[in-house]
């Protein structure tokens, strides 16, 4: 019997040209997994173009060093579009969303619980710890040898999505995949240095601002950080520099839920939600506002003033907090 992944890969191989993309504001799993996919397709002789729009952080540019990609949307026709690590069609990082509706066959490879299998062809496995694990499987199904370049890209995605193997998704599958990637040439020290130990000064200023803005509410069980546009300007930072700021709130002792509110434009806020309790599903909270993600990490966009948005999200968080022990 042909597996779902083999069917997915068989359909993908029918095409001569593929545009590879991920979600808006890509993280290491999105960028690394999409880049590795472009390498796998290229190894099969398929014309694969990786599209990752600006701005990308220095850490992502570090792990992508030597990997061809275009920041501007490519001005050419494609037989297929492969969207990696993208749970919702609306979150595809694409300057031309119509490409998913006209002509090109759409493929979606993802590990988010909120994925509704929106593409023409889907390989979605929510229990996987990262999309990088699925792309590792894709190399095997496509019978493409995994070289050190691809192994490093996938290791970066796996490392970041498991919180350096500290999150609840860091189970046997994550460590088994990590072993395979290191055996194929991934260098953990190099990836860790690029992702976590090469931080520009402006990001430290931004972290200092975030730490100073942190407030603990609801009996100290929820930590909230507001990050207005003025804060980015004050620190000389950009949106790409905000990755990981929610972990400052998550790190506080006694906190179960962390909320980072980042102002995208006046009256529009991006919320990053994190849970430290298996009893609190922040995906449910994000979905209340049209967002989604994982049980322990999710996000959404909410319109309103800072006060209105915080009040709305905390009302739902408060209702879903597990009973104090």
Would you say the C-alpha torsion 144, 145, 148, 152 has a positive or negative sign? positive
Residues 161-168 have a mean pLDDT of 94
Would you say the C-alpha torsion 41, 43, 49, 55 has a positive or negative sign? positive
Same domain, 111 and 46: yes
Q: What percent of the chain is modeled with pLDDT above 90?
A: 86
Please report which confidence band the pLDDT of residue 1 belongs to, taking 50, 70 and 90 as the band edges: low
Same domain, 148 and 74: yes
Element (H, E) at 118: none
Same domain, 225 and 254: yes
| Long-range contacts (CB closer than 8 Å, 24 or more residues apart) made by 265-269 | 265/229, 266/229, 267/303, 267/304, 267/305, 268/301, 268/302, 268/303, 269/301, 269/302, 269/303, 269/304, 269/306, 269/309
Find where tokens 């990088």 sit. Answer: 132
Residues 189-205 have a mean pLDDT of 95
Count of CB atoms within 10 A of residue 201's CB?
10
The distance from CA 50 to its chain's CA centroid, rounded to whole angstroms, is: 16
Token pair recorded at residue 48: 């694969």
Same domain, 205 and 67: no
Give the pLDDT confidence score for residue 114 in this predicted structure.
87
Token pair recorded at residue 120: 């023409």
- Give bridge partners of residue 51 from the DSSP assignment: 70
Domain boundary at 196, 216, 250, which? 196
Q: How many domains does the chain have?
A: 2
Element (H, E) at 300: strand 297-303
Residue-wise pLDDT tens digits, 136-164 = 999 999 999 999 999 999 999 999 999 99
Residue-wise pLDDT tens digits, 208-246 = 999 999 999 999 999 999 999 999 999 999 999 999 999
Same domain, 65 and 156: yes
- What CATH number does residue 223 fall under? 3.10.310.30
- What CATH number does residue 68 fall under? 3.90.1640.10
Same domain, 22 and 149: yes
Please report which confidence band the pLDDT of residue 91 belongs to, taking 50, 70 and 90 as the band edges: confident
Same domain, 294 and 262: yes
Domain boundary at 146, 169, 196, which? 196
* Residue 325 located in a structural domain: no
Please provide residue 271's backbone torsions phi and psi, each rounded to the nearest 5 degrees. -105, 130
Please report which confidence band the pLDDT of residue 58 belongs to, taking 50, 70 and 90 as the band edges: very high
In this prediction the pTM is 0.90
Find where tokens 């002789």 sit. Answer: 45
Provide the residue range defining the domain that includes 161: 4-196
Residue 98 has pLDDT above 80, yes or no: no
Domain boundary at 171, 196, 221, which? 196
Same domain, 213 and 181: no
Same domain, 30 and 137: yes
Same domain, 206 and 162: no
Give the orientation angle of helix 148-161 with respect to helix 188-196, to 10 degrees: 50
Give the pLDDT confidence score for residue 95 in this predicted structure.
62
Give the pLDDT confidence score for residue 308 in this predicted structure.
98
Q: Which of 31, 241, 54 is nearest to 157 (CA)?
A: 31
């Amino acid at each position: 019997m042909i597996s779902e992944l083999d069917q997915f890969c068989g359909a993908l191989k029918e095409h001569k040209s593929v545009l590879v993309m991920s979600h808006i504001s890509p993280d290491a799993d999105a960028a690394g997994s999409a880049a590795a996919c472009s390498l796998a397709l290229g190894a099969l002789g398929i014309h694969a173009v990786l599209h990752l729009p600006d701005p990308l952080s220095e850490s992502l540019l570090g792990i992508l060093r030597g990997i061809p990609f275009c920041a501007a949307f490519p001005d050419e026709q494609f037989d297929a579009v492969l969207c990696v690590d993208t749970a919702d069609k609306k979150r595809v990082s694409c300057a031309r969303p119509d490409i998913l509706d006209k002509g090109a066959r759409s493929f979606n490879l993802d590990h988010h619980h909120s994925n509704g299998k929106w593409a023409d062809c889907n390989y979605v496995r929510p229990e996987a710890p990262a999309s990088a694990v699925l792309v590792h499987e894709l190399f095997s199904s496509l019978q493409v040898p995994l070289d050190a370049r691809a192994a490093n890209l996938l290791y970066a995605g796996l490392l970041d999505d498991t919180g350096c193997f500290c999150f609840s998704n860091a189970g046997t599958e994550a460590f088994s995949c990590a072993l395979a990637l290191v055996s194929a040439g991934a260098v953990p020290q190099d990836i860790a240095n690029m992702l976590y130990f090469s931080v520009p000064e402006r990001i430290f200023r931004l972290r200092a601002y975030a730490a100073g803005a942190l407030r603990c509410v609801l009996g100290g069980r929820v930590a909230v950080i507001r990050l207005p546009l003025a804060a980015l300007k004050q620190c000389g930072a950009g949106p790409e520099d905000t990755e990981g700021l929610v972990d400052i709130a998550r790190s506080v002792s006694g906190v179960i839920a962390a909320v980072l509110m980042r102002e995208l434009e006046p009256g529009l806020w991006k919320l990053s939600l994190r849970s430290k309790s298996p009893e609190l599903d922040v995906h449910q909270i994000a979905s209340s506002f049209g967002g989604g993600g994982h049980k322990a990490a999710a996000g959404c966009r909410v319109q309103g003033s800072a006060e209105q948005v915080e009040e709305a999200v905390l009302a739902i968080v408060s209702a879903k907090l597990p009973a104090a022990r």
